[in-house]
Amino acid sequence: MQKGQVIKIPSKTILTIAISILVIVSVWSIALSPYFRITEVVVKGQYFCPLSLIDEVLDPNRLGNIFTLSTRKVKQRLLQNPWIDSVKIKRKLPNTLEVVINEAVPVAALATGDGFCLISEEAVPIQTVEQLSKYGVPVFTTSHLVPLHEGKRIDLPFITEAARAIATIRYSELPVELSQAHLSADGQLTCFFKGGLKVSFGEMVDLPAKLRLLLVIFSEEGGEFDHIDSISLAEEKAPVVMYKLN
């Protein structure tokens, strides 16, 4: 290009650029208009998690525009709540946000001085509550003092394995309901079922096989177990069944 030469841009190109800019500005102006300001939040999947903890994050007055909202940041804040395992967020125009929550499932409750601390299958404290009737989980005790921090896995030997074992027992086909479980210092798990039945599982290995064996014992007793005092599955050989004295 020679010095002083003027670059000529075709009028068609200029018109195209102008129209594109006009469209972008128009769309952006419409998107940022008050019409698309979030006014409603629909939460699904919430059952145990206190709504107050969710409302703090999902206050429509703080969310702003539905297009500029960072759903990633909203998810991050919600996932800080120990009750929440995963979150899906959907924008529903013009001004509704749909939030689908997958809650953590409590499998047991550790007795504390302030009530009961609900824990998940991975031995993560979820929340401390005063009553357990709403949650239907067994009381869980240990031979050691347990350091509890909501949302952080409990640092205690064997406790994660015990929490998983309790979950397996609860979801099994046993005809009796688990009411309490105890973890000894050396990793032995003992369970107490409604009606007073005590079952010693010992070390938490081959738990599915031990549960199958327990089902066989129940079936051989004709489905009646009120006369059984305790069952020990801790031995490597045959189980030991102790009967109540009449």
Predicted confidence (pLDDT) per residue in 6-25, tens digit = 556 666 676 677 677 766 66
> What's the confidence (pLDDT) of residue 228?
87
AA letter at 178? L
pLDDT of 115 over the 60 cut: yes
pTM over 0.85: no
Q: What angle do CA 199, 204, 209 make, to 5 degrees?
A: 75
Domain ranges of the chain: 36-103, 108-243
> What's the confidence (pLDDT) of residue 7?
58
pLDDT of 71 over the 70 cut: yes
> What's the confidence (pLDDT) of residue 3?
56
CATH code at 108-243: 3.40.50.11690
Evaluate whether 103 touches 126 at the Cβ level (below 8 Å).
no
> What's the confidence (pLDDT) of residue 50?
86
Predicted confidence (pLDDT) per residue in 230-245, tens digit = 999 987 778 888 888 7
Predicted confidence (pLDDT) per residue in 32-61, tens digit = 677 888 999 999 999 998 888 888 899 998
- Between β-strands 108-112 and 139-142, what pairing exists: parallel, antiparallel or unpaired? parallel
Closest C-alpha among 161, 160, 165 to residue 209: 165
- With left for phi above 0 and alpha for psi between -120 and 50, is residue 18 left, alpha or beta? alpha
Under CATH, domain 36-103 is a member of which superfamily?
membrane protein fhac (3.10.20.310)
Share of the chain above pLDDT 90, in %: 46
Predicted confidence (pLDDT) per residue in 119-168, tens digit = 999 999 999 999 998 999 999 999 888 778 888 999 888 999 999 999 99
> What's the confidence (pLDDT) of residue 25?
62
